[in-house]
Structure 1
Amino acid sequence: MVDVSQHDLVPDHSVVDDDELDDVMEEYGIDPTDLPKIKRTDPALPDDAEVGDVIEIVRDSRTADTATVYRLVVE
């Protein structure tokens, strides 16, 4: 079977730890439930991601070096 998360076109996905999450939520003035959602069954998610975790996705960007987005893992 192919591991989609290791494909060159799939951006880096990582679980945000609690300390960093507090900083991000404070910076944007939001709660994790305000974030866009990503399903737990998404093959790009790290194996240790659980429902309720926040995922940081770092993509290449044409206008900036990288673009960082956050998603809340849902069932």
Structure 2
Amino acid sequence: MVDVSQHNLVPEHSVLDEEDVEEVLAEYDIDRTDLPKIERRDAALPEEAGVGDVVEIVRDSRTTDRAVVYRLVVE
């Protein structure tokens, strides 16, 4: 089977530790549940991502070189 998460068109996904999550939430003055959602079964997620985790996604961007977004993992 093909590992979709390793495909060159899939942006880098990484699970944040709680300290980093708190920094992100404070920076944007939001709650964890205010983050956009990503389903646990999404093939691009790392194996260690679980429901309730926050994932940082880093994409290439034509305007800013790289764009960083955050998603809350849901069932």
TM range (shorter): over 0.9
Matched with 1:57 is 57
Instruction: Report the RMSD for the aligned CA atoms in angstroms.
Output: 0.4
Gaps of 5+ in 1: none
TM-score w.r.t. the length of structure 1 is 0.98
Show the 5 A alignment for 1:1-75.
1-75=1-75
Q: State the distance in 1 between where 2:6 and 2:12 align.
A: 9
Q: State the distance in 1 between where 2:25 and 2:16 align.
A: 11
**Segments of 4+ moved more than 3 angstroms:** none
Q: State the distance in 2 between where 1:19 and 1:39 align.
A: 22
Instruction: Determine what percentage of the aligned residue pairs are the same residue.
Output: 69
TM-score w.r.t. the length of structure 2 is 0.98
